[in-house]
Amino acid sequence: MSGPSPSGETVPSGGAGREISRLPIVLRDDHHRIPVHELLVLLGSDPGDGLTTDEARARLVEFGPNRLPRLSRRGPLLRFALQFHQPLIYVLLGAVVLTIMLGQIVDASVIFGVVLVNACIGFLQESRAEHALEALVAMVETDTTVIRDGTHRTIPASQLVPGDLVVFQIGDKVPADVRLTAVRALQVDESALTGESVPAAKESIELPLDTVLADRRNMAYSSTLVATGEGRGVVIGTGVDTEIGKIHRLVGRATSVVTPLTRKIARFSKLLTAAVLVLAAVTFAYGVARGEPVDEMITAAVALAVGAIPEGLPPAVTITLAVGVSRMARRRAIVRQLPAVETLGSTTVICTDKTGTLTQNRMTVRTMIARGRRYERSADGFTYDTARVAAIDDPGLERLLICAACCNDARLADDATAERSSGDPTEVALLAAARDAGMPVGEVRARRPRVDVVPFETARRSMATLHDEPSGARIVFLKGAAEGVLALCERAADGTGVPAAFDARGILAVVDDLAGAGLRVLAFARRASVSMDRLDEAGVDAGGFEFLGLVAMADPPRPETRGALETCHRAGISVKMMTGDHPATARAIAVEIGLVDPDRPVIVSGAELPTQDADELVRLTESTDVFARVSPEQKLRLVEALQSQGHIVAMTGDGVNDAPALRQADIGVGMGGSGTDAAKEAADVVLTDDNFATIEAAIEEGRTVFDNLTKFIVWALPTSMGEGLVILVAVAFAATLPILPLQVLWVNMTTAVVLGLTLAFEPAEPGLTRRAPRDPTGPILSRELVARMALVATLMVIGAFGLFEWELDHGATNAEARTVAVAAFVLIELAYLFNCRTLTYSRRRGALLRNPLVPFGVAAMVGLQLLYTYAPFMNSLFGSAPIGLTAWGRALGVAILVALIVSAEKWLRRPRTGGEVDVAIGGAESA
């Protein structure tokens, strides 16, 4: 049957018909007004079964994936133009004008050519870095629960289409624009859309047409976050057809490649540029005052400026950061905020949760206790007194498992439909235990329809549900941390259901015993024959429950945790476990992974944390490695206490309430697999494998990034200083310039790109994980490194000048002698590059090929230099001239000598404490 819809379109009266295609419905603005059943008809979606898979597939083709197109912040033309907005380019453009005025058209064109090439390289590098970052953002894709063909499935949010029925709960990101069909205590944080930080309460009512967006309580909008409760609804808009999509179209998304460090370095190079320009002006004035020809002094001043400005520095920083980001991604850590790359390298404390990060989050029920009987898992089910038992054999066990199956949101794997288990691993384990004890889980649940729920929350550590029993009576099931559940119980159940004596203390002793073996223990209770229509927290807290029993489950540590912890400790990083679990469970796991000394384990529970005394809190955080039963608010206070002691804190979190602590930490670490969307949004780094070892890997990469930046600076600055000094010395002593502006340009541009950038790809230094974290407030360069740079610059001046004068004395022309000087510069930089690949003296040899780019860089540089020396067009462009083999030999000899001197300097500065040979670089020990 078909009929006219409120909008006048002819649509089928139900089901998912293809006639609905090109739904004009997504373009309407009255979704909040139409009654839900009419809206579902308009969208061709079945109220119970949702869309069919085929229909969803067809709509996906029609509407496209549910994601926002990537918009670049600036157009390519503008970005290219911005490449010219640099001090060096201004100097060079000034030089172009001056050389034209002096009539040197060839020089002017070459300089201009260099400016263009420089802009192109800069543009390409910047685009690559931005693309790499954008691709990473896409890697953290959100999953969502959808009802299709009548079953719940988890699919990537990008696959949603209009008409899909979706379900979301606390911590989820609303995956599309949704008209709500049912809610339970739903509040949504809409700050992403409206800027309003107080969560908005939602209802599934109809609203008048003129309700403004912010007041549409029956709608949930894409990209907003569920702060509490649960909701269900039908998708009315996806991708760009959502409210956030409209905003996105207006502003685009800015991918920033700016970090505190890039800012610091940009400031430094600006300062240096200004100093160089002043020096060039002074040189010019000094020369002219002494009676030198003006045009020669202009040449000298330009050469000095071009040589001494460290133009390669800012792009090298960006590229090194981008390389670091993609290396981290390869090791399963996705960087959401670029500054995190730098901060990671300075981390001094990691606060990590236990479940899923240190452990595998693969729970298996080991022990169940009901009516004082203890059941242990065996190979094929559960045994009591060595006899295999089915739930049906023991009414006490059956009651416990009914509670475990009903007060449970998970779904068990179905081999018939190849559906995977989904939900909280704790709850999946409970369902698996019920199944293994012979209980027909699906049937038990179907016969007890759920009326209401108080969902699990870390702060409450329990979950409760209200059901209709097959007998028609209402019943409340409760499960959660034993202390809390027992406090609400007033009796136990005996085998026949008759109230029995209840010994809370005795039960807690059993709980301690199980937890001491590293097991997670849950207690179960019920309140039968209640007369309530809704269940809320107050209803649960009223108590009166009947205790049903305990279930203990194992969650083994990840095999790589122990090694990662050892690495952290060696690297001077302390690790603190902050878990919501029982203190005894936390202790057992902490001992097993080697986090605490088994003889002196210090465990502090949330209840023991001082609420007033800040000093005491600081003392406790410093001295304790395991915090158990802590709430998200307490985690926040612990992070603050650590930071007040100057620590750089990385903190993991997965729950919606963890977001404030994640934001407060210097590095918020979200869990890509098990974490809520709210926690991921608040995180700086997301681990795709939820694994503690990945945090350690990311810290290693962070340190490597910093090392490589330092290496580039230590390599690049002496060259700039050396080139500037050569000109300065020449003018001061009224000598012929050993290297001309164009030649300085040649050396700078070729070496920075071909040699210098290979340092961004250097692998980790040996000994990286044996040194203390870097002090982020300390200088980038240690005194030793500055001294080394001065040494190298001086050696360059002596080498280049010495060779130039020697060649002139031995009958070479100016052009030939300059070619030898240029060769000396290039070869010294090449040899010195090998010095810079480790910043400290290292006994480890044979590491030349660890960075495969270096041999390519060296080969390319040699090729370019041969071209520069022997190609006639290069000779006429740059004023170079062919030189003989012996001249090459002399230049190479000087270069090798410089490298040897630097090696000797490193050796002299090696630490004498014995053992390993590496020391901190620019870090805590040397700052």
With respect to ligand ATP, which residue has the nearer C-beta, 543 or 855? 543
- Quote the least distance from Cβ 626 to ligand ATP, whole Å: 11
- Quote the least distance from Cβ 793 to ligand ATP, whole Å: 53
Tell which one of 456, 712, 715, 801 touches ligand ATP (CB under 6 A): 456
Q: Determine the interface stretch with ligand ATP among 173-181, 352-360, 616-624, 740-748 (rule: CB under 6 A).
A: 352-360
In the numeric block, the tokens 């930490």 are attached to: 665
- Quote the least distance from Cβ 425 to ligand ATP, whole Å: 9
In the numeric block, the tokens 């310039």 are attached to: 737
With respect to ligand ATP, which residue has the nearer C-beta, 581 or 681? 581
With respect to ligand ATP, which residue has the nearer C-beta, 582 or 703? 582
d(CA 527, CA 882): 97
- Quote the least distance from Cβ 496 to ligand ATP, whole Å: 28
Residue 106 to residues 111, 798, 866, Cα–Cα distance (Å): 9, 30, 21
- Quote the least distance from Cβ 773 to ligand ATP, whole Å: 24
Q: Under rule CB under 6 A, which residues in 131-170 are in contact with ligand ATP?
A: none
Q: Determine the interface stretch with ligand ATP among 12-20, 198-206, 453-461, 681-689 (rule: CB under 6 A).
A: 453-461
Report DSSP state, residue 884.
-
DSSP 248-260: HHHH--------H
Q: Under rule CB under 6 A, which residues in 857-886 are in contact with ligand ATP?
A: none
With respect to ligand ATP, which residue has the nearer C-beta, 426 or 708? 426
d(CA 747, CA 901): 22
Mark whether 189 is an active-site residue: no
For residue 894, how far is the Cα from the chain centroid?
Answer: 46
Q: What are the phi and psi torsion angles at 517 (to 5°)?
A: -90, 10
d(CA 724, CA 800): 12
481 is a site residue for ligand ATP (CB under 6 A): yes
**Do 649 and 642 form a contact (C-beta atoms < 8 A)?**
yes
Tell which one of 522, 717, 781, 861 touches ligand ATP (CB under 6 A): 522
- Quote the least distance from Cβ 37 to ligand ATP, whole Å: 34
d(CA 740, CA 93): 17
479 is a site residue for ligand ATP (CB under 6 A): yes
In the numeric block, the tokens 């290292």 are attached to: 842
3-state DSSP: the chain helix, strand, coil percent, rounded to 5? 50, 20, 35
With respect to ligand ATP, which residue has the nearer C-beta, 481 or 575? 481
With respect to ligand ATP, which residue has the nearer C-beta, 361 or 710? 361
Tell which one of 31, 179, 474, 520 touches ligand ATP (CB under 6 A): 520
How many of the chain's residues bind ligand ATP (CB under 6 A)?
A: 20
Q: What are the phi and psi torsion angles at 172 (to 5°)?
A: -80, 155
Beta bridge partner(s), residue 369 = 374, 550
- Quote the least distance from Cβ 517 to ligand ATP, whole Å: 14
Q: Which residue lies nearest ligand ATP, judged by its C-beta?
A: 580
- Quote the least distance from Cβ 481 to ligand ATP, whole Å: 3
With respect to ligand ATP, which residue has the nearer C-beta, 125 or 652? 652
With respect to ligand ATP, which residue has the nearer C-beta, 179 or 582? 582
171 is a site residue for ligand ATP (CB under 6 A): no
- Quote the least distance from Cβ 353 to ligand ATP, whole Å: 3
Tell which one of 148, 327, 354, 411 touches ligand ATP (CB under 6 A): 354
With respect to ligand ATP, which residue has the nearer C-beta, 410 or 877? 410
Q: Under rule CB under 6 A, which residues in 405-424 are in contact with ligand ATP?
A: 424
**Do 669 and 690 form a contact (C-beta atoms < 8 A)?**
no
Q: Strand, coil or helix: what is 155?
A: strand
480 is a site residue for ligand ATP (CB under 6 A): yes
690 is a site residue for ligand ATP (CB under 6 A): no
For residue 222, how far is the Cα from the chain centroid?
Answer: 22
Residue 241 tokens read as 């057809």
67 is a site residue for ligand ATP (CB under 6 A): no
With respect to ligand ATP, which residue has the nearer C-beta, 525 or 902? 525
CB atoms within 10 A of CB 893: 14
With respect to ligand ATP, which residue has the nearer C-beta, 178 or 593? 593
Q: Strand, coil or helix: what is 144?
A: strand
Residue 615 to residues 24, 181, 570, 620, 752, Cα–Cα distance (Å): 63, 51, 28, 9, 51
d(CA 713, CA 175): 45
Q: What are the phi and psi torsion angles at 93 (to 5°)?
A: -65, -35
Q: Under rule CB under 6 A, which residues in 552-611 are in contact with ligand ATP?
A: 579-582
- Quote the least distance from Cβ 676 to ligand ATP, whole Å: 12
Burial of 76 (0-12, 13-18, 19+ CB in 10 A): exposed
With respect to ligand ATP, which residue has the nearer C-beta, 627 or 832? 627
Q: Determine the interface stretch with ligand ATP among 103-111, 350-358, 371-379, 568-576 (rule: CB under 6 A).
A: 350-358
| Helical spans, DSSP H, in 353-495 | 395-406, 425-436, 441-446, 482-487
691 is a site residue for ligand ATP (CB under 6 A): no
d(CA 322, CA 316): 10
- Quote the least distance from Cβ 409 to ligand ATP, whole Å: 8
Q: Under rule CB under 6 A, which residues in 457-476 are in contact with ligand ATP?
A: 458, 461-463
Q: Strand, coil or helix: what is 773?
A: coil
Angle subtended by helix axes 692-732 and 313-330, to nearest 10: 160
Tell which one of 172, 353, 807, 829 touches ligand ATP (CB under 6 A): 353
Beta bridge partner(s), residue 12 = 2
Report DSSP state, residue 754.
I
**Do 716 and 316 form a contact (C-beta atoms < 8 A)?**
yes
Residue 250 tokens read as 């207006």
Binding mask 531-550 for ligand ATP (x = CB under 6 A): --------------------
Q: Under rule CB under 6 A, which residues in 421-450 are in contact with ligand ATP?
A: 424, 426-427
**Active-site choice (107, 164, 172, 353):** 353
**Do 234 and 39 form a contact (C-beta atoms < 8 A)?**
yes
- Quote the least distance from Cβ 652 to ligand ATP, whole Å: 8
Map 708-729 to HEC letters. Answer: HHHHHHHHHHHHHHHHHHHHHH
Residues making contact with ligand ATP (CB under 6 A): 353-355, 424, 426-427, 456, 458, 461-463, 479-481, 520, 522, 579-582
Kindly list the catalytic residues: 353
